[in-house]
Amino acid sequence: MNREFSTGSENFTSGNSQITDFKCGRDFIMTLRSNQNIYTMGGANKNGQLGTGKQTMNKLSTEFECVDALLEFNVKSIFAGAS
């Protein structure tokens, strides 16, 4: 099955790379893909918790967005807390 999710920076297509890990916090979701990119989505971003370089107050993100600041790293696992 090939599902597409809309993102702010690129197409989040499950056919391009597999989701290898995901974590959920109180107000957000974080996924790690097999290409080692991290995508986040959620409402807890008043202080930049989603790691996308943007701060949004009281606005629920409905699109996965790549955490570009971590693209140069070889990410093996992810962890999420409450906020």
pLDDT digits (tens, 9 = 90+) for 16-33: 788 999 998 888 889 999
Q: Calculate the average pLDDT of the chain.
A: 77
Of 23, 21, 12, the closest CA to residue 63 belongs to 12
* Per-residue model confidence (pLDDT) at position 1: 43
Report the C-alpha gap between 14 and 37 in whole angstroms. 13
- Whether the pLDDT of residue 39 is over 90: the answer is yes
